[in-house]
Amino acid sequence: MMMCTTNDKMGICRNFFDGEMQIGSTQLVTFVSETENREMEDSMLLVDDGTTVVLNGNDCKLDAEIEVEIKTRYPDGIDVYMGQFSGSAWHPMCYAGAGTFDDKHVLALCAAHQLKTRDRFLRVCRSLSARKWVPCSGPACFLHEDLCKYNSVDAASKAHAIFPDAYDVDFGTGTPVCRVMPGACFTSSSLVDTPIDPIDDKLGYLSTRYHKRLHRCTASALKVAIDRFQVHTDKLLKTYGSFLSTKISLSLFLELQAEKHVLHTFHLDFEAASLRIIKEAPREAPFYVVTMPAWIFEQLVAAENWDWEEAFLGLWCHFERVPDVYNPWILAFFKNLEMERLSIMRDNADRKAVQVNPSVMPGDQEEFFYKDGWKIPRFCPHQGVDLSKHSDIEDGVAASTACH
Distance CA 161, CA 302 (A): 31
Q: What angle do CA 296, 96, 255 make, to 5 degrees?
A: 35
- Classified as helix, coil or strand, 378 is coil
Distance CA 46, CA 53 (A): 7
For residue 35, what are the CA distances in angstroms to 254, 329, 401?
25, 11, 15
SS3 assignment for 220-242:
HHHHHHHHHHHHHHHHHHHHHHH
Could you tell me which residues come within 8 angstroms of residue 396 by beta carbon, excluding any fewer than 6 positions away? 372, 374, 376
Reported as type and span, the H/E element at residue 16 is strand 16-17
pLDDT confidence of residue 90: 92
* Range 188-195 contact pairs with CB under 8 angstroms and sequence separation of 24 or more: 188/51, 188/52, 188/54, 188/79, 188/80, 188/132, 191/80, 191/132, 191/134
- Classified as helix, coil or strand, 123 is helix
Going residue by residue through the chain (404 aa), what tens digit of pLDDT does each one get? 344 544 555 455 666 667 799 999 999 999 988 777 777 788 999 999 999 999 999 989 898 899 999 999 999 999 999 999 998 889 999 998 777 788 899 999 999 999 999 999 999 999 999 999 999 998 988 999 999 989 999 888 988 889 999 999 999 999 999 999 988 999 989 999 999 999 999 999 999 999 888 899 999 999 999 999 999 999 999 999 999 999 999 999 999 999 889 999 999 999 999 999 999 999 999 999 999 999 999 999 999 999 999 899 999 999 999 999 999 999 999 999 999 999 999 998 887 765 544 444 444 445 677 776 677 877 665 445 567 655 666 555 555 544 44
Q: Is residue 138 within 8 Å of residue 120, measured between CB atoms?
A: no
Domains and CATH numbers, the chain: 3-207 (no CATH), 219-349 (3.30.1050.10), 355-400 (no CATH)
Q: Is the dihedral of CA 74, 80, 84, 85 positive or negative?
A: positive
Q: How much is the pTM?
A: 0.82
* Range 226-232 contact pairs with CB under 8 angstroms and sequence separation of 24 or more: 226/256, 226/264, 226/277, 228/301, 229/266, 229/297, 229/301, 230/275, 230/277, 232/301, 232/306, 232/337
Could you tell me which residues come within 8 angstroms of residue 317 by beta carbon, excluding any fewer than 6 positions away? 90, 94, 290, 291, 292, 293, 296, 311
pLDDT confidence of residue 379: 65
Phi, psi of 89 (to 5 degrees): -160, 175
How many other CB atoms sit within 10 Å of the CB of residue 27? 17
Give CA torsion, residues 272, 273, 276, 282, to 10 deg: 50
pLDDT confidence of residue 155: 87
Closest-CA residue to 124 (of 114, 135, 113): 135
pLDDT confidence of residue 5: 45
Q: Is residue 308 within 8 Å of residue 331, measured between CB atoms?
A: no
